[in-house]
Chain A
Amino acid sequence: MLVLSPWLRPPAALLCVLPALAQTQPPDGGLAERLYRSGERAYAAKAYKEALDTWEQLLQTTPQSAYASMVLLRIAHYQLEIEHKPDAAMPYLERLRTDYIKSPEAAEGLLLRGVLLKGLARRPAELKDAMAEFDRVIDLFPGDPACAEACLHLGQAWRDQGQWSRALQQFIDAFRLHSGSAVAPRAMLEAAETLDLMQDLPGCLRMLQRLRTEFPQAPEAKEAAWRMALRVKQRLQKPLLRNEGPWPSGRTKWLKTPTLLSFTPDGDLLIFQKDLDRVFRLHGDELVPQGPPAPGTQVLLTDAAGAVWALSKNGLLREDATTPQPLGPLGAISGAALDHWGDLWVADARTPAITVFNRGGESRSLASPTVNALAPLPTGGVVVASDADRKLLYLDAEGQPRIVVPYGQDLPGPFRKVVALASDGAGQVAALVEGSDFGQGVLILGPDGALLRQATFKSLGISGNITSLALDRSGGVILCDRRNDLLLRLN
């Protein structure tokens, strides 16, 4: 008979009673539920550390429970929404994808992972992983509500890659197959803009109208309203430009040497006043200084969040910085634009190239003639004016010219110089021109480079020193009159 040593007796006894103990313990489901609820309560009370500790405990003790996948998704959301750390969210989403692909949370997890990957991409080729994740959502969970959003993101990714037809297909699927989805209005708006990129203006307008009819209360409906009105006015009605006089409300002598203009994404006008060396924001009738002093600003623009970027020979001065960030050898900046990826395109009047700075500050050069002015396009590219070549060039996102418009095309006479360019987010481009037979005036061009509207300042009765222009959402042109310290509006 085998006799155990006294040292081994307690462990052996423990081994014997373990099955019985296991039976008396509450099942994993009960413990997991309690841990999950406890974490939820702590999270609701904003005791995030306690919540995370509790949920981590759940993941360690009951990884097979139905609550494990829910916890992974909750922690990923926490990392994103509270900590703003997408990188920290990724491991949880990957674990959700790897270990819990059959769980009800998997679709949302895959979608979130795709969205994060899409946000991390810096160029079209880097969208591949994100797109694979969106495809997975659509293929693996065809009935899941996440599919509509996956279609929308997939469409945006295709659009960012310049694949308009594929993008359109996904946008249409997002609202046609998921008409009750919350993203349906956004998908319609994106589809309309894509149709415009595909040069189907009637289709674009019909889609915008559909959006307004079906979702009149959605924020996208307001967006659709101005985009539709703008396109109809600029491209179909094309009324003669008329000088409405000082703007806003007939105000004169209220600025000090305004030289640059730019609209923010939410419709406020930014004005650089040279004598004050500052950028001001015009919100309603109120003019307030914006950002630090920016002496010598040559280009004014805003990023997607509405923050002001001022470029001068000293470099780039952002609204939240006190010192400018150098822009290499560029000293005679003639134009700049921010593209969809957050890359900054900068033209220098003395350099026959466009320099593109990515968000990390690295730069690359795109071959180009010397550029006098530059404005962003909804295609992801830019439009540039080259006085040396006497051409306007519509460049795609890769910097390749897609449309070339010779100076003076469709005009009664040629002009010599483009002083400034502006675009309106719906594909129209305005050019402030001067010289030669045409003289000083304004042109409005369509997304295909066709001349839509034009007028000389002489014909409009304008005699000031116009240095910049901006296109508003009503189809008007705001002119910056440096000599008379005022703004003018053409309609």
Chain B
Amino acid sequence: MRFRHLLFIPLMCATLWGQDPALNDAFLQAKALWATQGDREGATARFDGVVAALAPRAAKLGPEWVQVLCESYNWLAVLDDRSAQNKARTQMRFQALLDLNPDFELDRALTSQRLLALYDRLRGEKYALVKLSYSPEGGRLLVDGKPGSPLLHRYLPFGSHKLTYSRPGHTTSEVLLELGPHDVKAADFSLTRTSSAITLYVQPSEVEVLLDGQSLGFATGKSGPEAAALAQPLGLRPEELSAPFIIPQLSPGKHRLELRAACLRPKVLELGPEFATPPADHTLEPIRLDPSKGTLSVSSPWPGGELVLSGQSRGPLPVANLSVCSGPYDLLVRFPLGAFSRRLTVEEGKSLSLEVRPKPRLAFLGLEGGDFTGRARFQGQLESLGDRLQQVTFLSAHAGEAAAAAMARLKATREAELVLMARPVPDKVTHRVEITVATLDGEEESLVVKPLEQDPLGSLVARLNEVPSIQQPGLGLSVLDIPGEPGPWVVAASESAIKAGLQVGRPILQAQGKPVASAQDLQNLLGASKESVSILQDGGKATLPIQLESLEVPLGSGGLCYPAELAQLRLELVGAKGDKANLVKLNLAIVLMQFRRYDKAIELLRDAKLSAIRGVSQGTIDYHTGLCFLHLGNSYQSEAMQAFGQALKYPQATLLGPEGPLVAPLAKQAMADLK
């Protein structure tokens, strides 16, 4: 062999390995080189290339490539036989061919009688001939459990063999054979029909097939030319249809056939009893599924959001009218701080719009400690906590990562705002688990739960889902529920409300044309109204604008999780402006005061300025500033005094909300105590 031909083999191996069309071309070229040009060396080199590329993966090759490989061996045996140098390799070629497919018959036009005899002799040394017959044909043959072609002649190795022949809707037949040298045996299969079998083709492929609600699997792959007659009337090519999907045992009666796939409109077919009785094979017309899409728009007032749909990034916010397949999605919007997550369903032909805000991310650091009764159940409940949380985005623990390592990672990456730790309380027998929710800055809260109780995480879930509002709609008036009065009785009102016609000292009979019986009714109605509310009193009507009134976060409540509240407020601050931002700062400071982080609270309060002078307002900020300085000790007495003095400048400032206690008498007393 010339050197250039030696070089050609690895080159061909490298290029043809992953390039099947090229390999096929090489195979055809090899045939042509010898047939038309008589270039034996060139042909041998190319066939060798094909063999080198296919032989190592022979076990995984499809039938068409096995055929190419077999033919290549046949050609190489003939070529080697004609070369004095390579003659000795002829037998080796046949041996390789027989190992690959003993049923392969040599090309009699190409192969000499001598070589044919050699091939038959070699085959007879290891294999015996089995003659097969099938009734009906078109079934599936298994030889020793492995699928094989239902040919009429098969060469099988010496020894015992089990041949199984089956066909949908028929009984299965088995034959046991004992083969030895020179044996020629027969195996006749005759199957009896038991039920109907349905064959269906779907366009497109990858569609789930359900019969009477039970999934039978997926119609996958492509059809071959045998489906041309079915595809043509629909204007399709056979390869556009899935491979045939067979429903093998259709029981008597009616059936409901359902086909469904993502992005496609589901299709339901009713199969009448005639499909099942009398038993027969039925091939349905190809079934086409139409695309099913909707649109999704996602926006946020918070900057830096990135939309991720079921794990796939869809770019930065805002995302407008994104065409997506209908169906359920895990929607995630990643923000620089926090994230928003929700499971949603896009309906076909519908538009879904969402305005999202970041929620704090709660990273679970895992359940520490040793074994205890109910640990697996409890661990499962912890891991599925995310399904029950609406106000935080739950991040599962990393498998195998220790809590300390996870904490260090989160502190470095800031991938979460909150962490959740669970630790069994040390005891002779573990009956209690301490659950801690903490910010990365160390503000934490713990609760002890009993892992064997019905819902040990119920209280935690309720607390994490509760987020108090820091604003409420109001009309600038105070009302009382007085027994005997027909509605909430107005005890005080702002100047503008009085100018608008509201009468102090009288009950409100109706709001927005609806009767209101209590102060709570009125508040509920305000929550459902937009810009203004018309108020009816005995002898007068007034239309009052709705204003947002500031509130303080309630402290010391068993229904709230304060680390989560801190995280919520910190995220809210990122997207807030003006008075709202300052109100968020005030509330952040108030929650920090609960954690006795007075220095941090002062930083926030100093930076906060509210334009309002009534209710929760600038006077409230000044009063809290004074309290923080008081808690810092004697060295800050003058600052505390100054802050309380400032608070006194706002005689209408209150704590808690617009109806809360006035700040002024408290500030005055605090100043008196300092003196």
Decide whether A and B are members of one complex: yes
Contacts of B556 in A (CB 8 A): 148, 177-181
Asked whether A166 is an interface residue with its Cβ less than 8 Å from the other chain, the reply is yes
The one of A166, A172, A180, A232 in contact with B480, judged by C-beta atoms closer than 8 angstroms, is A232
Asked whether B661 is an interface residue with its Cβ less than 8 Å from the other chain, the reply is yes
Whether A213 and B519, one on each chain, are in contact in the complex, defined by CB atoms closer than 8 angstroms, is: yes
The one of A168, A179, A203 in contact with B555, judged by C-beta atoms closer than 8 angstroms, is A179
A172 to B594 Cα, complex, angstroms: 15
A326: min CB distance to chain B, Å: 45
The one of A177, A195, A205, A237 in contact with B661, judged by C-beta atoms closer than 8 angstroms, is A195
B429: min CB distance to chain A, Å: 12
Whether A168 and B505, one on each chain, are in contact in the complex, defined by CB atoms closer than 8 angstroms, is: no
Asked whether B557 is an interface residue with its Cβ less than 8 Å from the other chain, the reply is yes
The one of B483, B484, B491 in contact with A236, judged by C-beta atoms closer than 8 angstroms, is B491
B644: min CB distance to chain A, Å: 12
Query: Which residue on A lies nearest to B657, using beta carbons?
Result: A210
The one of B481, B656, B662, B672 in contact with A209, judged by C-beta atoms closer than 8 angstroms, is B481
A281: min CB distance to chain B, Å: 25
A229 to B491 Cα, complex, angstroms: 12
A468 to B559 Cα, complex, angstroms: 51
A33: min CB distance to chain B, Å: 9
Contacts of A210 in B (CB 8 A): 659-660
Whether B669 and A165, one on each chain, are in contact in the complex, defined by CB atoms closer than 8 angstroms, is: yes
Give A211-232 as 1s and 0s: 1 = Cβ < 8 Å from B's Cβ atoms. 0110000000000011011001
Whether B659 and A209, one on each chain, are in contact in the complex, defined by CB atoms closer than 8 angstroms, is: yes
Asked whether B56 is an interface residue with its Cβ less than 8 Å from the other chain, the reply is no
With A148-B556, A166-B673, A210-B660 given, name 20 new contacts (CB 8 A): A165-B665, A165-B666, A166-B669, A168-B666, A169-B670, A176-B554, A178-B555, A191-B661, A200-B665, A203-B662, A205-B478, A205-B491, A207-B661, A209-B479, A209-B480, A212-B481, A225-B481, A228-B482, A229-B482, A232-B480
Contacts of B557 in A (CB 8 A): 179-180
Asked whether B414 is an interface residue with its Cβ less than 8 Å from the other chain, the reply is no
Within 8 A of A (CB), among B543-564: 554-559
A206 touching B659 in the complex, CB below 8 Å, given contacts A165-B668, A168-B665, A229-B483:
yes
Asked whether B520 is an interface residue with its Cβ less than 8 Å from the other chain, the reply is yes
Asked whether A202 is an interface residue with its Cβ less than 8 Å from the other chain, the reply is yes
A334 to B576 Cα, complex, angstroms: 68
Contacts of A388 in B (CB 8 A): none
Whether B519 and A198, one on each chain, are in contact in the complex, defined by CB atoms closer than 8 angstroms, is: no
Contacts of A178 in B (CB 8 A): 555-556
B484: min CB distance to chain A, Å: 7
A170: min CB distance to chain B, Å: 10
A229 to B482 Cα, complex, angstroms: 5
Whether B665 and A198, one on each chain, are in contact in the complex, defined by CB atoms closer than 8 angstroms, is: yes
Contacts of A229 in B (CB 8 A): 482-484
Query: Which residue on A lies nearest to B558, using beta carbons?
Result: A180
- How many B residues have CB within 8 A of the partner chain? 34
Asked whether A435 is an interface residue with its Cβ less than 8 Å from the other chain, the reply is no
Give B515-528 as 1s and 0s: 1 = Cβ < 8 Å from A's Cβ atoms. 00001100000000
Q: What are 20 A-B pairs with beta-carbon distances under 8 A?
A: A165-B665, A168-B661, A168-B665, A172-B655, A177-B594, A178-B555, A179-B554, A179-B557, A180-B557, A191-B661, A203-B661, A203-B662, A206-B491, A209-B481, A209-B519, A225-B481, A229-B483, A232-B491, A236-B505, A237-B505
Within 8 A of B (CB), among A222-253: 225-226, 228-229, 232, 236-237
A169 to B668 Cα, complex, angstroms: 11
B658: min CB distance to chain A, Å: 9
Within 8 A of A (CB), among B395-436: none
Asked whether B489 is an interface residue with its Cβ less than 8 Å from the other chain, the reply is yes
Contacts of A464 in B (CB 8 A): none
Contacts of A172 in B (CB 8 A): 655, 661, 666
Asked whether A142 is an interface residue with its Cβ less than 8 Å from the other chain, the reply is yes
A133: min CB distance to chain B, Å: 20
Query: Which residue on B lies nearest to A29, using beta carbons?
Result: B428
A207 to B655 Cα, complex, angstroms: 12
- How many A residues have CB within 8 A of the partner chain? 34
Give A354-367 as 1s and 0s: 1 = Cβ < 8 Å from B's Cβ atoms. 00000000000000
Asked whether B492 is an interface residue with its Cβ less than 8 Å from the other chain, the reply is yes
Contacts of A202 in B (CB 8 A): 478, 491-492
Query: Which residue on A lies nearest to B483, using beta carbons?
Result: A229
Asked whether B596 is an interface residue with its Cβ less than 8 Å from the other chain, the reply is yes
Query: Which residue on B lies nearest to A158, using beta carbons?
Result: B669
The one of B479, B484, B491, B666 in contact with A169, judged by C-beta atoms closer than 8 angstroms, is B666
A210 to B480 Cα, complex, angstroms: 9
Contacts of A165 in B (CB 8 A): 665-666, 668-669, 672
Whether B665 and A176, one on each chain, are in contact in the complex, defined by CB atoms closer than 8 angstroms, is: no
The one of A177, A179, A200, A225 in contact with B662, judged by C-beta atoms closer than 8 angstroms, is A200
A225 to B491 Cα, complex, angstroms: 15
Give B297-325 as 1s and 0s: 1 = Cβ < 8 Å from A's Cβ atoms. 00000000000000000000000000000
A489: min CB distance to chain B, Å: 16
Contacts of A213 in B (CB 8 A): 519-520
Query: Which residue on A lies nearest to B659, using beta carbons?
Result: A206
A190: min CB distance to chain B, Å: 12
A341 to B418 Cα, complex, angstroms: 52
Give A131-174 as 1s and 0s: 1 = Cβ < 8 Å from B's Cβ atoms. 00000000000100000100000000000000001101100100
A205 to B480 Cα, complex, angstroms: 8
Give B367-403 as 1s and 0s: 1 = Cβ < 8 Å from A's Cβ atoms. 0000000000000000000000000000000000000
Whether A232 and B559, one on each chain, are in contact in the complex, defined by CB atoms closer than 8 angstroms, is: no
A198 to B665 Cα, complex, angstroms: 9
Query: Which residue on A lies nearest to B492, using beta carbons?
Result: A202
Query: Which residue on A lies nearest to B560, using beta carbons?
Result: A180
Q: Which 10 A-B pairs have CB atoms at the shortest separation, nearest pair first? A: A178-B556, A165-B669, A180-B558, A179-B554, A180-B557, A179-B557, A206-B659, A209-B480, A229-B482, A177-B555
Query: Which residue on B lies nearest to A178, using beta carbons?
Result: B556
A168 to B673 Cα, complex, angstroms: 14
Query: Which residue on B lies nearest to A237, using beta carbons?
Result: B505
The one of A168, A176, A200 in contact with B656, judged by C-beta atoms closer than 8 angstroms, is A176
Query: Which residue on A lies nearest to B556, using beta carbons?
Result: A178
Contacts of B520 in A (CB 8 A): 213
A125 to B484 Cα, complex, angstroms: 44
Query: Which residue on A lies nearest to B488, using beta carbons?
Result: A209
A421: min CB distance to chain B, Å: 27
Within 8 A of B (CB), among A85-128: none
